[in-house]
Amino acid sequence: MTEPDKTQLLALLQQHLTPERMHKIDSILSMRTRYLTVVLEDIYQSQNASAVLRTCECLGIQDIHIIENRNRYEVNPLVVHGSDKWLSLHKYHQPDKNSTEDAIKLLRKNGYRIVATTPHTHDIAVDKFDLQKGPAALFFGTERTGLSETVLAQADEFVKIPMVGYTESLNLSVSVAMVLYELTHRLRTNLINWPLSTAEQFELRLEWTKLSIRSCDDLIKYYTNILTS
């Protein structure tokens, strides 16, 4: 069956949304960004993993990259509260291969700086991180072992959260929240081209419209028959 024109399909599907819902979608889209992206390496605690997704969604980060070398990434529905369905999740899992290498290679190809969020000899505090230098992929590791040697060896920059207590590390989800809150706040108050492109917003608008309609697959089949007959 021929695929219908996406613009036509979106217009037809939007008839099934309230004006308030359409306004909500557009409002959230206007604040979404891919200028910053989060990369999670071998996170094994589902509660932490899910809390990170929820934080990213709340702060407008669209893409989450998930590296599964030793541990599989599991979502806890009681923690994530459905936030994962509004995000674009990219998983890297190649048996008998270092998937971290694949993630770094793809992110560099897409114009991202590789930023390790960990104390290092050449680190800078998160509030001093230069957002003007271009898009950044923020790598976070496990609380127990941190980021892999692969990330540390290939990182372009290192960012840390300054601490003044005896404890040397924060809970993963807390670290992600603190880093993202600082950077997204500064990002939106700087003259940086951080919003999604018109084309990216259209694709997400269509996807989120589908997610907002009950039994949408049946509705799409119905409209597809009309538009392609």
pLDDT per residue as tens digits for the range 154-197: 999 999 998 888 877 788 899 999 999 999 999 999 889 999 99
Give the pLDDT confidence score for residue 3 in this predicted structure: 64
pTM over 0.85: yes
Handedness of CA 140, 146, 151, 156 (dihedral sign): positive
- The better pLDDT of the pair 108, 3 is held by 108
Residues 52 and 80 sit within 8 Å (Cβ to Cβ): no
Give the pLDDT confidence score for residue 30 in this predicted structure: 97
- pLDDT at position 28 over 60: yes
Least confident of 6-20, 65-79, 88-102, 108-122: 65-79
Q: At what angle do helices 172-187 and 46-58 cross, to 10 degrees?
A: 10
List the structure tokens of 174: 């807390």
CATH says 33-194 is which class? Answer: alpha beta
Give the pLDDT confidence score for residue 1 in this predicted structure: 40
Confidence of residue 211 (pLDDT cuts 50, 70, 90): very high
Confidence of residue 225 (pLDDT cuts 50, 70, 90): confident
Q: How far apart are CA 54 and CA 72, in angstroms?
A: 18
What 3-state class would DSSP assign to 206? helix
Give the pLDDT confidence score for residue 48 in this predicted structure: 80
Give strand pairing partners of 140: 40
Give the pLDDT confidence score for residue 75 in this predicted structure: 67
Chain region(s) in the chain for CATH 3.40.1280.10: 33-194
